[in-house]
Amino acid sequence: MIYVPFVFVAFSVCNPLVHAFDDAKLTVLDGKYIRLETDLPPSEDLQQYVQSFDQAVPLWVEYWNRDAASVSGWRVTAYLMSSKEAFVRRGLIPDSLPDFLHGYQSGDKLWIVNQASGFYTLHLLLHEGAHSIAHRFFGGAGPPWYMEGTAEFMATHEAGEAGIRIGVIPASREASPYWGRIGLIAARRSDSKIPSIETVMRYGDTAHRDVEPYAWSWAAAVLMEMYPEYRKLFHDAAPQGRDTSPQFTRNLFQSLRPQWPVLSARWQLLCEDLDYGFDREANRVTLSLLSNFGPEPQAMSLASNRGWQSAPGMIRAGQSIRVKSEGRFQLKADPAWVSEADGVTITYERGRPLGQLLACVVPHVSPTTPSLPKLNVLAIGSENTVNASVDGWLLFRVNENPRDIADNQGTLHLTLTDLGTQQ
């Protein structure tokens, strides 16, 4: 089951009205919810932008749980610019607007700088449109992390013959040229500079003058959408969108506070694995605050078709757990490889054999530093010992790209033995 509203809408068969302004050399395309004015010549790409915007609006309405009448008669004017200076000369960019690199929204007007790829141009158009519809529904879109995170989520799309989907994680870099959010996250992961979720939620008004905060705000929205217990509270905050102050975030934090240790751990795991084609359902992580390891060996079944899975007890700093694994499972559907916990060396994922049993310990208490410490992932294979340096959750998974695990078959059987606390 997909937990995010991936709704397909067939392409409309209407043809937008196209007008050529000889004196100003602008092209105007009229759709149901958008009037697009541009200094680009008429093209199929422009018509695609208008059609896709019109298809996205009902999906945004559904995302925010509004009714169709809420957008009756509503339409934005979007200026798509290959030359910002030309629009300044025409008086179509007010002096009151701040300087912007890619896009800007004010009320029902959008300004988009044409990009090197059609995907990124449409992404920006949808992003600014998502801001506009939030202002229509709620009078505002909340503080920077929430405003930009929800807009990024509702703009990250897949368009094709069947229509447009929103809220997707692009399948590849080639499918989303110049968007770059996942590449940026991967680079920061390599540099051990993943921000804490608290850091992201404290972004100020000027943070998004740089591209990087868009990536982390998007990742925060992805996290909130992955888990039903967060999603409802995340959406319920939207009607307070006029409040752009830290109080908005404090209110949401208070509603999430009982779940915060688990949420923070899930954030670190998401940032560790987030990649193109990331399978959100297969990588949802179940964590409990209720149990600790007992003195007797404990058995655990590990599904090969899911991401990180928690041991049946919390682990303490200094505690050592001996892990033994038995069983076989099938990796991939085509070609299919049968693997044991040591993995198969015919191919590798992140420098380790595909299918190798891995473990990590995620801290129970989030660090107070702006960036998270690097998550130490340990190769277990058929047998190894985990030595915990912090109190936290002990988790396991088979080594495979998170986008590919859902078609695996089979289970590993783990035996976990507490060796006691090492002095």
3-state SS class at 142 = coil
Last residue of a domain, one of 206, 227, 257: 257
Query: Within a domain: residue 48?
Result: yes
**Is the pLDDT assigned to residue 15 strictly greater than 70?**
no
Statement to judge: residues 121 and 211 lie in one domain? yes
The answer to which of 182-191, 206-215, 222-231, 381-390 has the lowest mean pLDDT is: 206-215
Dihedral sign, Cα of residue 199, residue 201, residue 206, residue 212? positive
Specify if 174 maps to a domain: yes
CA distance 333 to 405: 10
- How many Å apart are CA 179 and CA 57, to the nearest integer? 21
Query: What is the structure's pLDDT at 422?
Result: 62
The four Cα atoms 329, 412, 224, 364 give a dihedral, to 10 degrees, of -150
Q: Is 294 helix (H, G, I), strand (E, B) or coil?
A: coil
341 in the same domain as 199: no
Residues 246 and 186 in one domain: yes
CATH number of the domain residue 363 falls in? 2.60.120.430
Residue 173 has pLDDT above 90, yes or no: yes
Query: Which range marks the domain in which residue 353 is found?
Result: 298-421
pLDDT at 203: 94
- Residue 384, beta-bridge partner list: 323
Q: What is the CATH number of the domain that holds 149?
A: 1.10.390
Distance CA 58, CA 74 (A): 12
Give the per-residue pLDDT at 3: 37
d(CA 174, CA 154): 20
Residues 26 and 134 in one domain: yes
Say yes or no: 104 and 223 in one domain: yes
Per-residue pLDDT for 19 more than 70? no
Mean pLDDT on 201-215 = 91
d(CA 116, CA 318): 52
Q: Is the pLDDT of residue 10 over 70?
A: no
Query: Which residue type sits at 171?
Result: A
3-state secondary structure of 136: helix
Predicted confidence at residue 179, as pLDDT, reads 95
Is residue 264, in this structure, part of any structural domain at all?
Answer: no
Does one domain contain both 236 and 309? Answer: no
The pLDDT-based confidence of 214 (bands split at 50, 70, 90) is very high
Six-digit token string for 103 = 């896009």
pLDDT digits (tens, 9 = 90+) for 229-270: 999 999 999 999 999 999 999 999 999 999 999 999 999 999
CA–CA gap between residue 30 and residue 13 (Å, rounded):
14
Residue 282: inside a domain, yes or no?
Answer: no
Q: Which of 329, 327, 324 is nearest to 359 (CA)?
A: 324
Cβ–Cβ under 8 Å, residues 220 and 201: yes
Q: What is the per-residue pLDDT for 423? A: 53
* pLDDT tier at 159, thresholds 50, 70, 90: confident
- Domain contains 12: no
Residue 5 has pLDDT above 50, yes or no: no
What single DSSP character describes residue 24? T
If asked whether residues 72 and 163 sit together in one domain, one would say yes
pTM assigned to the model: 0.90
Of residues 13 and 69, the one with the higher pLDDT is 69
Cα 239 from Cα 182, distance rounded (Å): 29
Share of the chain above pLDDT 70, in %: 93
Strands of 213-318 (E only): list them.
298-303, 309-315
**pLDDT the model gives residue 313:** 85
Q: Write the pLDDT tens digit of every residue in 357-407.
A: 999 999 987 667 778 888 899 999 999 999 999 899 999 999 999 999 999
Interval 266-291: pLDDT, tens:
999 999 999 999 999 999 999 987 77
Query: What pLDDT, on the 0 to 100 scale, is given for residue 420?
Result: 81
More confident residue, 111 or 349: 111
Closest to 311 (Cα-Cα) out of 400, 418, 421, 407: 418
Indicate whether 25 and 138 sit together in one domain: yes
The whole-number average pLDDT for the span 106-130 is 97
306, 283 in Cβ contact below 8 A? Answer: yes
Q: Where are the beta strands (DSSP E) in 31-108?
A: 34-38, 76-81, 103-106
215 with 112, same domain: the answer is yes
Are 304 and 329 contacting, i.e. CB atoms less than 8 angstroms apart? Answer: yes
Q: What's the one-letter identity of residue 70?
A: S
**Measuring CA to CA, which residue among 398, 378, 395 is closest to residue 337?**
398
pLDDT at 116 > cutoff 70: yes
Do residues 247 and 325 share a domain?
A: no
Q: Are residues 136 and 187 in the same domain?
A: yes
Helix 212-226 with 144-155: angle, nearest 10 deg: 80
Q: Which ranges of 158-245 would DSSP assign to H, the alpha helix?
A: 181-190, 197-201, 212-226, 228-236
Confidence of residue 18 (pLDDT cuts 50, 70, 90): very low
Boundary (domain end) residue, out of 257, 280, 306: 257
Q: Which residues contact 335 (CB under 8 A, 6 or more apart)?
A: none
Phi, psi angle pair for 121, to nearest 5°: -60, -45
Q: Which residues contact 160 (CB under 8 A, 6 or more apart)?
A: none
DSSP strands (E only) in 118-267: 157-160, 163-166
Across the chain, what does the average pLDDT equal?
90
Among candidates 285, 266, 287, 280, which has minimal Cα distance to 406?
Answer: 280
Cα dihedral sign, 43-46-50-51: positive
How many distinct structural domains can be found in the chain?
2
Does 245 lie in the same domain as 305? no
pLDDT at position 110 is 98
Q: Quick one: pLDDT at residue 224? A: 97
